[in-house]
Amino acid sequence: MTHTPPPGDDQTPVPDYSRLWRLDGRVFLVLGAGQGIGRQTAHALSQAGARVVCVGRRAGPTEAVAREVGGTALMGDANNREDMQRIAAEVMQRFGRLDGLVDILGMPRVKPLVDFTDEDWNWQFDMSLRHAFLSLQIMGPLIGQAGGGAMVFVSSTSGKVISSDRAPYAASKAALQQLVNAAAIEFGPMKVRVNAVAPGLVLTPRVSTTIPADTLAQSAALYPLGEVGTPPQIASVILFLASAMSAHVNGQTLFAEGGVTGRSPTYATSSARPPRA
C-alpha cells in the first residue's frame, strides 16, 4: 500500500515501509542453520514470513531448528557439488521456486602463517569460499528464475583488519568480499542482489565454549559499545539484506561489528570516557 501525497513539490509515492521487511511466501535456504547465527537467521526469516529450508551436515541440530521455525531440513555438505545440486533439485521439487539464500558457513584455522601446511591452506579456503562459489553458481540462477531475490554471505572483519595467527583466514574472507562484489555485477541483470555481512567477535555457542570468559571480557573492552556481538544482532542485519528494505544495496559488505574496526590501535587501551554534557 502506498500513500499518494496532495499536490505539492514532491509527488513521489510513499511506500509502506513497515511491510518492506516482509518475506511472505518466499523460499529461503539457510546454509549452516543448526546453531548460532544460522539458527537466529532461520528464526528471523521465518518471522518475516519466509518458508525456511535449513541445510546442514548434522541431522540433529539442523532438524531441531527446522522444527522450531516450521521449516524444512535438508542434509548435505555445502562444499560438495553433488550435494548442492541435489539440494537445489529437492527445493525445486518441493516448492517450485527459490527466492533467497543465506550462507553462514566459515571458521578460522588459527596458527602462525609459517606453520600452515598445504592441507591447512586448502581447508581454510574451502571453509570460507567453496560453498559460496557453489551457492552462487547453483542457487543464484534459480533465484533469478523466480524473478529475483537476495543472497547474503557471512564474511568477517578479518577481511579488513588482521588478527594474529589468522593470515589465511583473513585472505579468504577478503576474497569472499570480492567474490560478493563481482557476483553482484553478474547477477544484477537477473535481479539477484548479492551482499555480505562482516561481524566482529560474536558470542555464538562455539565461541562461548572455546574462548575463556576473561578473554571475552578483554575483547569486549575494545569495542566502543563495550560488548561483543550476539547472533540475533547479526541475524537482524541479514534480514535487512534479505528483504526489500535493502532493495538498492548490492555488492556490499556491511560491517556489523560495534565500531571496533574504526578504533585506532594507538588508543585501543585508553579507558573510555563518556562525552561531556
Q: What are the 10-residue block averages of pLDDT along the chain, 277 residues in total?
A: 68 94 98 96 98 97 98 98 98 98 95 96 97 98 98 93 87 96 98 96 84 85 90 97 98 93 63 53
The sign one gets for the Cα dihedral 203, 209, 211, 217 is: positive
Would you state the pLDDT for residue 164? 80
Q: Which of 17, 169, 223, 267 is catalytic?
A: 169
CA pair distance 127, 108, nearest whole angstrom: 8
Is 267 catalytic? The answer is no
CA-to-CA separations, 153 to 47, 129, 212, 251, 258, in angstroms, rounded: 20, 10, 28, 11, 19
Helix axes 118-125, 167-187, angle to 10 degrees: 40
Quote the pTM value.
0.90
Q: Set out the domains of the chain in order of their start, with CATH numbers.
A: 21-200+234-254 (3.40.50.720)
SS (H, E, C) 23-54: CCCCEEEEECCCCHHHHHHHHHHHHCCCEEEE
CA pair distance 225, 259, nearest whole angstrom: 8
Would you state the pLDDT for residue 161? 84
